[in-house]
Amino acid sequence: MYPDHVDGCVAVIGDVMLDVYVHGRVDRISPEAPVPVVEVTGRSKVLGGASNVAANLASLGCHVYLFGVCGKDRAGMALKTLLSKAGIGDGLHVDLNLPTTSKTRVVAKETGQQLLRVDEEKVPHLDSLTNHLMIGFTKALESGHLGAVILSDYAKGVVTSALVAEVVRICSGLGVPVLVDPRRGMWDMYYGATVIKPNIFELRAAANDPNLDRTGDIIETARRLAVEYSIRGVLVTLGARGMILVLNGSHWKLPAMARKVFDVSGAGDTAMAVFAACICSGQSMREAARMANLAAGVVVGKQGISLITRKELADADQATVD
């Protein structure tokens, strides 16, 4: 079950984003082109990417520090305001030459269907950014007990081989687990991490096997990659098939818990946040994976990027007992 109290704080390092939703009515097609005309009825902004991981942790009662990069623009100001409201420690580096990474989704009010997504992003200058982030991360280590570090890699340029190596080196000496949410097929840059959480597509890319699908083959592949990259555990998310945890040669299959699936957006972020929160509280990785699987089942039943609450997680856990 989810703990009443989370011991220690969690540092999240990665690609922060602002998710913008434009909601509107659609009742006609444009006379200029065969596209729907959207009459805007509302807008909303939420934390996305690595900042969504941090927001889920804060919603669960964790103390959180977030490290990444944003621009000095309206999106960056909105991002920082949301972090402040959520009580998340802001370790963002502001780069005057970058736009804040943002995703704007246009959604039909009647159906909830996403009609269009517009992305704004630019890869940062890697060497200087890594130095800025490590300075901030090192200062955060001095301010209190760190229970876990999450590397939330959306392949936008923040999580580099140099950064991962330094974080793993520091955390290994402190006995702090490093948890990775990957977006790349090359796992050599994650060498030495404690746990990595790929989905099936990311596992296929890492194994260079586009046909990987059978449960037994997934387990064996995860074991092989864990040994090859000196990673203790691999938590594979399989969508409607649930999750598989491969840990120190053993494995556990966790069936999907969602009764209805409306939107998978952010489900991986929520699962990672719950996994880390449970690890910080001294729970086993097996129990942490079980709770992460429950959390994913809750959030895919909601529309859009949604946070998990302690009550929702407790209710979902109780439902498995009943």
Question: Any idea which residues carry the catalytic annotation?
Answer: 269
Pairing of strands 243-247, 250-254: antiparallel
**C-beta of residue 216 within 8 angstroms of C-beta of residue 200:** no
Residue whose C-alpha is closest to residue 233's, from 178, 290, 305: 178
Instruction: For residues 203 and 137, give the distance between their C-alpha atoms in angstroms, rounded to a whole number.
Output: 29
- Residue 33 CA to residue 130 CA, distance in Å, equals 45
Amino acid at 180: V
Q: What are the distances in angstroms from CA 322 to CA 241, 290, 294, 313?
A: 22, 16, 14, 14
CB 165 within 8 A of CB 201: no
Closest listed residue to residue 91, CA positions, set 150, 32, 147: 150
Helix spans in the chain (H): 50-59, 74-86, 126-143, 161-174, 200-207, 215-228, 267-280, 285-299, 310-321
Which residues on neighbouring strands pair with residue 226, listed in sequence order?
Answer: none
Longest dimension (CA), the chain: 64
Q: Determine phi and psi for 137, rounding to 5 degrees.
A: -65, -45
Cα(298)–Cα(254) distance, integer angstroms: 15
Residue 245 contacts residue 271 (beta carbons within 8 Å): no
In a 10 Å sphere around its CB, with 0-12 CB exposed, 13-18 middle and 19+ buried, how is residue 134 labelled? middle
